[in-house]
């Protein structure tokens, strides 16, 4: 009963949080649908926010950019309702209920009404690029992906192919943002208007109708819809999917950037909270048993051996990163071992390792058949009846309840519990491993 209470509480908390966000999303959608698109030219007093800039050679840097765009399309006179499929939501990947999955919302910009199929194809390709990278490849069953059509009056985006090109689009995407050619900015309020149309938004990716390399990472944004960042990518560029992978390192893995700036100086602050930065050398980390001490000396998927490499968090000295060059330092790389561990833990903050088409509110009988789903390969499944494990049922995802040895009065219910645990060796921290177990319980009578 203790196990059931703990896991049920965790599941209830997650479901309640998602339900609350869904209610907020619905309210915001109602308010935003009636709002005219933003149309303002950024001035000297225009609010700005930090963004990441991605160079073609994989290098990453930071700057600030306006929160609004001067290229958001003006509303069509007399038009009060969506037309031509504007705001239409298409499930590109549907693995289950939003309360049990991590929901990615992909919004197109610079695609006309006639180009919405092209947008959905570009969105699907970006998701394929993202899930080619671990740990996404192994954990893709934890995700839903929603494509939201944002119909633009003009095809393409501002700044492509050159700085003189201007196009007004649904989200106001534009290259040459703040004078940086490859920086692809958007209007964050316009993004919210369309993200609110999806059933749930844990991550938001804007796909621009362009083959020009570029993108941006809004990893410090705090949307009222609940998602923590926006990644913008060029839909027709084969390298741009890496931008979204890096950005989710911030939003899902809570990872820090591992690159540094010339002239930034020496870090002299307290120990950073992020899992992939530390003020400690390898010897001190090992002695204290903190940060990535469990990974020290192991070969990392991004190349080399896990240790302490000086430079990171924008500082040249005073901070250490786990490996020489992971995707949190430059694009075209893999997550290092501590980063991969943090990403998996982040996935499970939004999704669950065990689901079932049968509600736990359903009172079952011995004549019923029960099915559960394990979205992650290799997940271990155990069954408990009234708190006692049933070893003969291990691993069974379909269960004829008549096989259970139910005793006592026919009216007395028995508690049947399924417990799923992801045994991945990619998560070594015991505090994080606790989130890799989930359970579901039903009452069963004779």
Rg (CA), the chain: 24
Output DSSP code: residue 397: S
User: How does 290-323 read in b/e, with b if 16+ C-beta sit within 10 Å?
Assistant: ebbbbbbeeebbbeeebbbbebbbbbbebbbbbb
Please choose, from the candidates 334, 168, 332, the residue with its C-alpha nearest in 3D space to the C-alpha of residue 323.
334
Could you give phi then psi for residue 8, rounded to 5 degrees? Answer: -65, -40
Cis peptide preceding 172, ω within 30 of 0? no
Give this prediction's pTM.
0.87
Residue ranges in 34-83 assigned as alpha helix (H): none
CA distance 331 to 127: 16
Q: What is the pLDDT of residue 408?
A: 76
Residue 332: other Cβ atoms inside 10 A? 11
**Superfamily in which the 2-251 domain is placed by CATH:** Collagenase (Catalytic Domain) (3.40.390.10)
Q: What is the pLDDT of residue 262?
A: 73
Question: Would residue 344 be called left, alpha or beta, if left means φ above 0 and alpha means ψ between -120 and 50 degrees?
Answer: alpha
Q: What is the pLDDT of residue 219?
A: 82
Q: Domain coordinates of the chain in residue numbers?
A: 2-251, 363-445
Vertex 202, ends 197 and 206: CA angle to 5°? 65
Q: What is the pLDDT of residue 73?
A: 93
* Chain centroid, CA 251 distance in Å: 6
Structure tokens at 77: 């006179």
CA torsion, ordered 235, 238, 241, 246, to nearest 10 deg = -130
Tracing tokens 């992978």 back to the chain, one arrives at: 245
Helix (H) or strand (E) segment spanning residue 441? strand 437-445
Q: What is the pLDDT of residue 79?
A: 44
Q: What is the pLDDT of residue 167?
A: 97
Task: Give every residue of the chain whose pLDDT is below 70, as ranges.
Answer: 1-45, 75-83
Helices 241-251/116-130 angle, 10° precision: 60
Q: What is the pLDDT of residue 132?
A: 96
* Structure confidence by residue, pLDDT tens digits, 291-347: 999 999 999 999 999 999 999 999 999 999 999 999 999 999 999 999 999 999 999
């Amino acid at each position: 009963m203790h196990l059931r209470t703990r896991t049920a509480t965790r599941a209830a908390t997650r479901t309640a949080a998602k339900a609350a966000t869904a209610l907020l999303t619905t309210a915001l959608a109602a308010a935003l649908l009636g709002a005219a698109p933003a149309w303002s030219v950024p001035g000297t007093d225009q609010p700005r926010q930090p963004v990441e800039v991605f160079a073609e050679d994989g290098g990453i840097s930071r700057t600030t950019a306006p929160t609004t765009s001067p290229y958001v399309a003006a509303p069509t006179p007399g038009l009060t309702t969506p037309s031509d499929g504007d705001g239409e939501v298409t499930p590109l990947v549907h693995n289950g209920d939003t309360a049990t999955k991590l929901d990615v919302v992909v919004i197109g910009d610079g695609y006309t009404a006639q180009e919405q199929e092209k947008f959905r194809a570009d969105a699907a390709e970006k998701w394929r690029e993202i899930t080619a990278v671990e740990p996404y490849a192994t954990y893709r069953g934890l995700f839903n992906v929603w494509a939201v059509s944002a119909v633009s009056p003009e095809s393409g985006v501002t700044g492509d192919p050159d700085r003189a090109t201007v196009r007004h689009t649904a989200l106001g995407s534009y290259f040459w943002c703040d004078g940086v050619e490859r920086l692809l900015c958007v209007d964050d309020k316009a993004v919210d208007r369309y993200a609110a149309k999806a059933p749930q938004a844990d991550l938001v990716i804007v796909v621009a109708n362009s083959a020009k390399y570029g993108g941006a990472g809004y990893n410090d944004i705090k949307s009222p819809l609940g998602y923590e960042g926006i990644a913008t990518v060029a839909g027709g560029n084969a390298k741009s999917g890496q931008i979204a992978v890096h950005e989710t390192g911030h939003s899902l893995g809570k990872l820090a950037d591992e690159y540094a700036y010339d002239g930034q100086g020496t870090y002299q602050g307290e120990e950073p909270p992020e899992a992939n930065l530390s003020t400690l050398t390898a010897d001190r980390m090992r002695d204290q048993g903190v940060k990535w001490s469990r990974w020290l000396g192991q070969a990392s998927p991004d190349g080399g051996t896990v240790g302490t490499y000086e430079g990171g968090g924008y500082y040249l000295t005073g901070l250490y990163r786990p490996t020489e060059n992971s995707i949190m330092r430059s694009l075209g790389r893999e997550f290092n071992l501590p980063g991969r561990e943090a990403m998996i833990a982040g996935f499970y903050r939004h999704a669950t390792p065990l689901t079932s088409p049968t509600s736990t509110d359903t009172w079952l009988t011995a004549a019923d058949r029960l099915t559960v789903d394990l979205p992650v390969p290799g997940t271990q499944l155990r069954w408990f009846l009234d708190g006692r494990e049933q070893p003969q049922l291990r691993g069974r995802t379909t269960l004829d309840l008549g096989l259970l040895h139910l005793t006592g009065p026919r009216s007395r219910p028995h508690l049947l519990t399924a417990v799923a645990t992801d045994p991945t060796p990619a998560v070594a921290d015991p505090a994080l491993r606790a989130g890799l177990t989930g359970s579901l319980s039903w009452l069963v009578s004779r």
